Structure 1
Amino acid sequence: MSHSEDEDQDDAALFRAAIGEVKPIRQPQAVAPQKPRPRPRARMAERDEAEAHGEFARLLRDSAPLEAGDTASYRREQLPARLFQRLRKGQFSVQDELDLHGATAAQAEAMLRQFLLEAHAHEFGCVRIIHGKGMQSDGGVPVLKNLVDRLLRQRNDVLAFHSAPAAQGGTGALLVLLARK
């Protein structure tokens, strides 16, 4: 053994003595990439929608339908009467509108639900829903008018609605006052 080999072994021995006992590092096992988490869902809102849908079908069966010229009107108790009077007179600025003319009942229901979700997301206070008077409805009962009336009554985000003044659509449209977030 040469002199430099002795020094190398001494250096290695000195190093081991200086650092003490060591434990080998375990190699981490390969980790599979995790799938991205699903987007959160508004489960309570979905449940409310499902309950409202069942409730709507029952209401449509159990109550007398609105006729073409009938005024549709609804107010939650917590809404002050003076605000409801302003709504009846068309004194609120309409921030968006949905026209349901030509839609089937199923299409109208889906469109209305989506419209209200978007109106709520934009924090609109007053919207107009044009359902038509229902003069061409089978059997003379205005399907869309009754659908909209019953559906709006079931929604917690609807404070009040009333048939629009004649200049804004009359009994063929509703002004709807929405609750803010």
Structure 2
Amino acid sequence: MADEDELFAEAMGRVQPLAASKKIEPESLKSGRKRPRLKPVRTAKLVISPASHAPATTDDPWQLVADGVSRERLRRLASGHLPVEFTLDLHGVTRDEALLLLAGSLEAMLTEGRRVARIIHGRGLHSQGKPVLKEAVYRWLREGPLAHAVLAAVAEPGSGGGACLLLLRKVAHK
């Protein structure tokens, strides 16, 4: 069986770069400014239900599952059958910036009642040794200040391990 790199090369073999005249630059880049940073959202008091505990790591280090998550719900998440309500792409940011973006995004999702997210952290191909962002994201999801809100995190199908899908708890607002 071909490895992931060979499959990727085969899939991308006919892809051609866009001509410079066809590229569209965001307004923020046209003026020479850097991409704007998102600021963490401060939410109203959130009450997580039913329980307030962090997800546990399974035998797969890239899978987190909280107690009480049904196998059917986990299967639906892992197979991509739950609709993704938010995508956060962390390419090109540092580990610290990534964790700030992750915190702000998940707080906003909880406030808005969104429950399924795609986090694109990359596979760590440009990291020396271990994948820095991927490990930091999973550690934060397992141990960070919003770990109690994470029901499950699984590798996104077809991402080659470069993205994960999250299922968040329902939140009651006070």
Following TM superposition, by how much is the alpha carbon of 1:170 offset from its aligned partner in structure 2, in angstroms? 3.2
Query: Which of structure 1's runs of 4+ aligned residues deviate more than 6 A?
Result: none
1:13-40 superposed Cα distances (whole Å, 9 cap, x missing partner): xxxxxxxxxxxxxxxxxxxxxxxxxxx9
- Unmatched runs of 5 consecutive residues or more in structure 1: 1-39, 46-51, 53-69
- Amino acid of the residue matched to residue 95 of structure 1? E
TM-score by length of 2: 0.61
Aligned mate of 2:156, from 156, 160, 164: 164
Residue 86 (structure 2) aligns with: 96
**Partner SS for 1:170:** coil
Following TM superposition, by how much is the alpha carbon of 1:89 offset from its aligned partner in structure 2, in angstroms? 0.8
Residue 145 (structure 1) aligns with: 134
- Unmatched runs of 5 consecutive residues or more in structure 2: 1-42, 49-53, 55-59
Q: If you compute each CA radius of gyration, which structure gives the higher value, 1 or 2?
A: 1
State whether structure 2 residue 128 is matched by structure 1 residue 128: no
Q: 1:100·1:131 contact (CA, 8 Å) conserved in 2?
A: yes
Q: From the two aligned structures, give the one with the greater helix fraction.
A: 1
Q: Which has the higher contact order (CA 8 A, sep 6+)?
A: 2
- Amino acid of the residue matched to residue 161 of structure 1? A
CA spacing shift, 1:78–1:131, aligned 2, 3 Å: same
1:120-145 superposed Cα distances (whole Å, 9 cap, x missing partner): 1111110000000010002x210100
1:87-125 superposed Cα distances (whole Å, 9 cap, x missing partner): 111111000110000111110110100010011111111
Q: 1:158·1:177 contact (CA, 8 Å) conserved in 2?
A: yes
**Partner SS for 2:148:** coil
CA spacing shift, 1:44–1:179, aligned 2, 3 Å: closer
**Partner SS for 1:171:** coil
